[in-house]
Amino acid sequence: MFRSPARLFAPLALVACAVAILVIVNANSGSSSDSKTSSTATTATSTTTTAKQGSKKARRTYIVKPGDVMSQIAVKTGVPLDTLLQLNPNVDAQSLHVGQKLKLVP
């Protein structure tokens, strides 16, 4: 009886893949300096985003752009969706038109 070499190499390939995965996982989790840098970059980005949103809150109106939806406008402007809908009762939230002006503050 002749055994196929694949019967020997298949388990060896499986073990080699498992070892390679363990090496990669350990190498990525061991680099704590990279994770500190990553969290610092995230904090800086969050601060910049907050500063931009603060200036958007001062606007009194918003002009609808192509592809805008009410929930997206609420997030962009920092105005809660319920408030946005109450301030614009005659605007159909399902069919916004490009160039349409929406009130952001009473």
- Please give the pLDDT value at position 36: 47
Q: Over range 13-17, report the average pLDDT.
A: 85
Q: Where are the domains of the chain?
A: 6-103
27 φ, ψ (degrees, to nearest 5): -65, -40
The answer to whether 102 touches 59, Cβ cutoff 8 Å, is no
Distance CA 58, CA 36 (A): 34
- DSSP code per residue over 15-56: HHHHHHHHHHHHHHHH-HHHHHHHHHHHHHHHHHHHHHHHHH
Regarding the domain delimited by 6-103, which CATH topology (the fold level of the hierarchy) does it fall under?
Answer: Membrane-bound Lytic Murein Transglycosylase D; Chain A (3.10.350)
- Give me the count of residues in the chain: 106
Q: Residue type at 31? A: S
- Please give the pLDDT value at position 30: 57
In this prediction the pTM is: 0.45
**Nearest of 49, 65, 75 to residue 83 by alpha carbon:** 75
- Please give the pLDDT value at position 15: 87
The pLDDT tens digits for 55-104 are: 444 679 999 999 999 999 999 999 999 999 999 999 998 989 999 999 99
